[in-house]
Structure 1
Amino acid sequence: MTDLRKRSLSLQNNDILCADFYSKSECSPDKLKRKSQRSQQAIIITSPTKIVEKNNSNLFEIYIDGNQTVKEGWLYQSKKVYIELTRQSIIEYNDEQKTQLIKIVSLKEFEYNIQQDKQIIKLQFPHLHQIITYQAKDAVEAKMWVGCLNIVLDKHRNHPKNKLQLQEVPRYFGVNVISEEYFLKIVESGDLLLFETNNTGAKLQRVFTNTKYDHVAIAIKMANKYLFVFDANADTGVTFMEWSQFIEINDLYEKLAIRKLMNVDRIEIEKKMIEFLQQVHGKKYEVTFSKLFRQKSLSPSKSNESFFCSELVAKAFKYCGLLESDKASSSFLPVQFTKQLKLTNQIQITDDIVVILKKHLTK
């Protein structure tokens, strides 16, 4: 009995630590500057909803098309790796079934050159100070790989390349990336935005929940042009802010990823999302143990008087008819939005695509 009691106390302490780290991890550094934007937000919120037809999906289809395979097969590094060369990336796996991902390197967003010496293939990324070396079984096979790599190189030769600050290379080299400029073109209302915050509480939260991200928000694209971030934060509660202001003020957000919704009616989502925004805007931020351990959703007659970030996102997704769950919205943590979601009506969502933030580029 003593051992069981100790184990129970240990689990309770871990839960308390998780909740404590969670409550401290969403602090933006400049409260006054955020408050100064409230009048601008109020004008937009109280204005009549005007929905504009979308064409962003066509741009994202180009991105999806870039994931088509050009060549795949086994190559050697320090060990045998299975390589998939797509129209925009080179992807390494531990297995032929492509279930054990090692890394993804963009051949579209970064400048590189190709060298072959017999069966050795080298990809050099001069601005990133990175070299990837592969060994084919013979020179003929290596030449075939180099030919395919040159096709991909030519395809994106005129695409603007991202020159990273050297200390930021580990953040972006080896993961699926797009530029911030392209992100602003393809993002649409309802897409999920995931953030990594650079403070101690957020780092501990990511460790305890075993995830890469500690904050989640929703994109709202006004008039198919202006991106606003809809979120709940510890400083000002439920709010939304134009993208350039948001990323400038929240300078502790060091990493951003987008998960795009697929097979959805964007016009209907935007309409419902703005309705929900009008209902909850300005409500306070709060995370409590009773919220975190609530099992069932509140009845429709009861409205939330406070939110934390992932609770707000879950509630918004339910309001828009996107999320199938009787689970309480307050029991959703950011980690849940990095995993497979139970979405309605055959709606799908992409894996996270990391956005190369402009602040991490060389001047």
Structure 2
Amino acid sequence: MDSGPQENHHKNENASKTDSDTQSDLNDLRSISFSSTSSTEEELMVKAGWLRKKSTHLIKRWQWRYFVLKDHVLFYYNNDSDQQPRATINFNQITVDINVINPESPEELIIKPLGSPRVFRLKGNTAGEIKEWVEALKKHIKTSEGFKEQKYMVTIKKEFWRYPRISNDRFEEIVQTGDILLFRSKAIPAKMQRAVTGSKYDHVALLLKLQDDQVALLESTSQTGVQVLLWADFMRYQWHLLYTRLVYRKLNIERTDQFLEKTAEFIQEVSGKKYRLAKAIFKKSKGLDPGSEEGYFCSELVASAYKKLKLIEEKVHPSRVWPGNFSTEKPVELTGCSLGPEVLIDFELGFEE
């Protein structure tokens, strides 16, 4: 049921494969090596704690939420143990106004994003507590890109706060081998798949960072079977427009030489194998060694790669893993690592400094 990619990928002859000059570089997968470096963010004072937030529902009430202020971004969560934030306000991407809204109730404050009717009303236990938050917020805001120039491209979007988001440039910079890309397709069959599996996503791919810092996808689709696809080609043919959402999840693990060698070995073993879905629905897993399966559907391929790297619990069979199991909804059990929050790739954003 990888209906998004099978319906949408490779819709013309030129897009049926990567360009000949890049394809020749990928023919001998034994030669693939990966970059293990990553960039670092500018650090500011981190502040975290519980505050009450005024709900925007029909019945408005104050609800406790756990807030984290870090690197020009304010997150809040339902619980302090949650991985996925309920809301994200990135001061590098939007312009905000912040002030105490009621002199008679100084334990309250409001955050008002430019270009949006949405406001965030917060309340601390005391005026002193909320004053500390205001001072911390102002430091992050005044050193942000949104303070230097007015930004409202994000805030005009529906529920802009629901996902952390990054630009395509930033995505290409921070990707590391083993990270995950989730797809939500516009195609009707993909919508049917999401309904059947109870997931927000209908396709998943394993991300690779090649030695020349190019980003690539290891994926399985009905059109191509298992292949390595350069992200530059994905963008060149504008396949990103076929999806309502492309979501990045970082794999939190050390990229050792062994990790990268095992990944390259797995790619060599599976490249060119067939796309198969029936196995996952109608047949039980036979406990095959990762990489030795005859064919794969998308999430089975990624799960098999993770099993090769010993990142998935032994009891988990790759053939029983769906795209949604790589989201925060119904996460697959991992060992010795974790996946970061779902981050939306926003192709209308410029590069974030």
Query: Which TM-score bucket, shorter chain as reference?
Result: 0.7 to 0.9
* More moved, 225-234 vs 126-135: 126-135
Aligned length, in residue pairs = 333
What CA deviation, in whole Å up to 9, does each residue of 1:247-278 have, x standing for no partner?
Answer: 42342122122222223334333322222222
Q: For residue 246 of structure 2, what is the aligned residue in structure 1? A: 256
1:91 match: secondary structure: strand
CA distance in 2, matches of 1:324, 1:313: 14
Q: For residue 98 of structure 2, what is the aligned residue in structure 1? A: 114
Q: For residue 191 of structure 2, what is the aligned residue in structure 1? A: 203
CA distance in 2, matches of 1:160, 1:221: 33
CA distance in 1, matches of 2:89, 2:120: 10
Q: CA RMSD in A?
A: 3.5
CA distance in 2, matches of 1:330, 1:124: 47
Shift of 1:220: 0.8
- Using structure 2 for the length normalisation, give the TM-score: 0.79
Q: For residue 74 of structure 1, what is the aligned residue in structure 2? A: 52
CA distance in 2, matches of 1:305, 1:217: 18
* More moved, 314-323 vs 25-34: 25-34
2:266 match: secondary structure: helix
1:343 aligns with 2:334: yes
* More moved, 135-144 vs 28-37: 135-144
Q: For residue 144 of structure 2, what is the aligned residue in structure 1? A: 156
Are the structure 2 counterparts of residues 100 and 169 from structure 1 closer, same or farther at C-alpha, using a change threshold of 3 Å? closer
Q: Report if the CA contact (8 A) 1:190-1:218 is conserved.
A: yes
Q: For residue 120 of structure 2, what is the aligned residue in structure 1? A: 132
1:90 match: secondary structure: strand
- Using structure 1 for the length normalisation, give the TM-score: 0.77
What CA deviation, in whole Å up to 9, does each residue of 1:65-96 have, x standing for no partner?
Answer: 67943554335453113341412333344567
Q: Which amino acid aligns with 1:109?
A: Q
Q: Which amino acid aligns with 1:86?
A: L
Q: For residue 28 of structure 2, what is the aligned residue in structure 1? A: 46
* More moved, 159-168 vs 78-87: 159-168
Are the structure 2 counterparts of residues 221 and 139 from structure 1 closer, same or farther at C-alpha, using a change threshold of 3 Å? same
What CA deviation, in whole Å up to 9, does each residue of 1:127-152 have, x standing for no partner?
Answer: 45543233557766554432222012
1:358 match: secondary structure: coil
Are the structure 2 counterparts of residues 167 and 233 from structure 1 closer, same or farther at C-alpha, using a change threshold of 3 Å? farther
2:162 match: secondary structure: coil
What CA deviation, in whole Å up to 9, does each residue of 1:299-328 have, x standing for no partner?
Answer: 349933322111111122222332233443
1:255 match: secondary structure: strand
Q: For residue 194 of structure 1, what is the aligned residue in structure 2? A: 182
CA distance in 2, matches of 1:46, 1:286: 24
1:1-363 equivalent positions in 2, closer than 5 A? 22-26=1-5, 27-29=7-9, 30-37=11-18, 39=20, 40-46=22-28, 49=31, 51=33, 54-56=36-38, 58-59=39-40, 62=41, 68-70=46-48, 72-77=50-55, 78-83=60-65, 84-87=67-70, 88-93=72-77, 102-117=86-101, 118=103, 119=106, 120-128=108-116, 130-135=118-123, 142-157=130-145, 163-164=152-153, 168-170=157-159, 172-223=160-211, 225-247=213-235, 248-288=238-278, 290-300=279-289, 303-338=292-327, 339-344=330-335, 346-358=336-348
1:150 match: secondary structure: helix
2:313 match: secondary structure: coil
Identity of aligned residues (%): 22
1:173 match: secondary structure: helix
* More moved, 126-135 vs 183-192: 126-135
What CA deviation, in whole Å up to 9, does each residue of 1:209-254 have, x standing for no partner?
Answer: 2222211101111116100111111222212222132142342122
- Higher relative helix content: 1
What CA deviation, in whole Å up to 9, does each residue of 1:87-129 have, x standing for no partner?
Answer: 2333344567779964333333322222333245332222455
CA distance in 2, matches of 1:66, 1:215: 36
2:87 match: secondary structure: strand
Q: Report if the CA contact (8 A) 1:93-1:100 is conserved.
A: yes
CA distance in 1, matches of 2:84, 2:262: 38
Are the structure 2 counterparts of residues 335 and 52 from structure 1 closer, same or farther at C-alpha, using a change threshold of 3 Å? closer
Q: Which amino acid aligns with 2:322?
A: L
CA distance in 2, matches of 1:227, 1:302: 22
CA distance in 2, matches of 1:55, 1:160: 31
CA distance in 1, matches of 2:82, 2:294: 45
